[in-house]
Homo-oligomer: A and B are copies of this chain.
Amino acid sequence: MIAWFIHPVMVLCALGFFAAPLEAAGREKLLSDPGVYVTFSAFKVDEDWWKMDGAARSSAAAAVKQVFQKHAETVTADIYLTRGLSESADFFVRVHARDLVENQNFLLDLLSTPLGVSLKNVHAFNGITKKANYVPGLPEELKTALKTPTDPGGKPYAIVIPIRKDAEWWLLDQETRTTFMKEHTEASIPYLKTVKRKLYHSSGLDDFDFITYFETAKLDDFNNLVISLERVKENRHNRRFGNPTLLGTIRSLDEILEILAR
């Protein structure tokens, strides 16, 4: 058996809720393959922007769309509106590519647009996807359930929570670790249908060990899922959980640009 020291949250297929020019199949693969790099970048739009006249803001929005299109061959980029729900950010993007420098090049171009000049980068998280590691001895039906894609339906929310584990967690012996993973998996089963999850690994790439990403239409289920995960012993080993927690609404690039251009 290969080492399975990673977090037991399963890497589920991500559904394309954002119509990017990257053809659907390529996007699906980027969102489900291991070895893909992610950058989450959250931005605050500075005051000058809001005082700009409407025409200038609309043309700036068009330049942003061009950047999304220019990189669509190699990069998938999703956008989320946090304005109103977060004190630090107005929106964030989640960027995936096979090489981290492609994420950077996309973001450099985004920051060079007229809107980009007014953006303050308030959070940046980097991570990598890995092949899912299942708890040994997990019943087959549960494995099947874990692999079944979740359809979060209309009006979904996305939540991003970075996690740093303590030294004791990394030093756990295998038996304790298996027990922890079983508890963790069982606690999350009731929410498999309504909360979509994706896990990124960050040790050394950023100041935490994991970036957990969630999509849901039912925030009450998501709140109960997190409470369930707080009630398993693994929670003792979370040195950092959130700080920040990014909670946003999934909206189309057009709608977000329209809101920013109001």
Contacts and interface: CB of A to CB of B under 8 A. Distances in A.
A244 B207 contact: yes
B227 A121 contact: no
Size bracket of the A interface: 35 or more
A245 B205 contact: yes
A122 B219 contact: no
Contact of A225 (B112, B204, B214, B219): B204
How many chain copies does the complex carry? 5
B230 A203 contact: yes
Question: Is chain A's interface secondary structure helix, strand, loop, or mixed overall?
Answer: mixed
Which of A107, A167, A204, A209 has most chain B Cβ within 10 Å? A204
A71 B249 CA distance: 19
A167 B230 contact: yes
A226 B103 CA distance: 22
A223 B170 contact: no
Contacts of A96: none
Interface in A36-68: 37, 39, 41-42, 46-48, 50-51
A170 to B, nearest CB: 4
Given A51-B117, A204-B227, 20 more contacts: A39-B84, A41-B84, A84-B104, A84-B107, A84-B108, A84-B111, A85-B103, A85-B107, A86-B121, A87-B122, A104-B249, A128-B223, A168-B236, A170-B230, A170-B235, A171-B231, A205-B247, A206-B242, A207-B243, A207-B245
